Copies of this chain bind each other. A is one copy, B any other.
Amino acid sequence: MSKEDAMSRTPPRDRIIETARELFRKHGLRGVGVDAIAEAAGSNKMTLYRHFGSKDDLIAACLTEAGKEAAQEWDEWDAEFPDDPMNQLHEWIGCAVSCAIEDPRGCDIANAAIEITEPDHPARKVIAQVKSAHRDRLARICRDAGFPDAELLADALTLLVEGARVSWQTVGPQGSGSRFVSVAEAVVAAFAERGKRAV
């Protein structure tokens, strides 16, 4: 009963966020109600509303948490290959979509951006901030690795990974998304050769 133990030990707020992220991912933001989330988290609707003022705020909190997790992953790559941006880049390419094999539901943040239609939704700024940070870290690695067109390469890789996670949801494992690693490596190689010739 280690799971139930952990459930009862962690404060309700954390359990609710974790459970909400699971259910949102599985059924979509509009596909699951706050009551179901609270119950699945071993709590109830009232405490949910005492921690998060509304469902929309809960969604924003979940995406903030997702952004924190992503940043942690970047930090781990930083620590794994210190001062070796080229290996960091290859590691990123390898990991960026690999998770999709088990759970083909793509990126929670991108999915939320698509599912949320209100322009003033509290989650919108979280989405923009996390995604911008992602591109910025990618651009920094490309610059550190010495690519002359580092910014353009960062844009290319950003679009590729974003597209791969969508492609996985549209056509599944037969689609272009499953060739993301080959494509990304080819693009990186092409940009590297371009740089060499320019020098």
Is A179 in the interface zone, CB < 8 Å from B? yes
With contacts A156-B186, A166-B166, A190-B187 known, is A171 near B115, CB below 8 A? no
Count of A interface residues, CB-CB < 8 Å: 51
Is A18 in the interface zone, CB < 8 Å from B? no
Contact assessment for B115 and A156 in the assembled complex, using a CB-CB cutoff below 8 Å: no
Interface of A is mostly: helix
Is A143 in the interface zone, CB < 8 Å from B? no
Supply 15 A–B pairs (Cβ within 8 Å), ascending by A: A28-B115, A30-B31, A111-B114, A152-B183, A155-B182, A156-B183, A156-B187, A158-B167, A159-B183, A162-B163, A162-B166, A163-B163, A163-B166, A166-B166, A187-B190
Using a CB–CB distance below 8 Å, which chain A residues touch chain B? Answer: 26-28, 30-31, 105-106, 109-111, 113-115, 117, 127-128, 131-132, 135, 149, 152, 154-156, 158-164, 166-167, 169-172, 174-177, 179-180, 182-183, 186-187, 190-191, 193-194
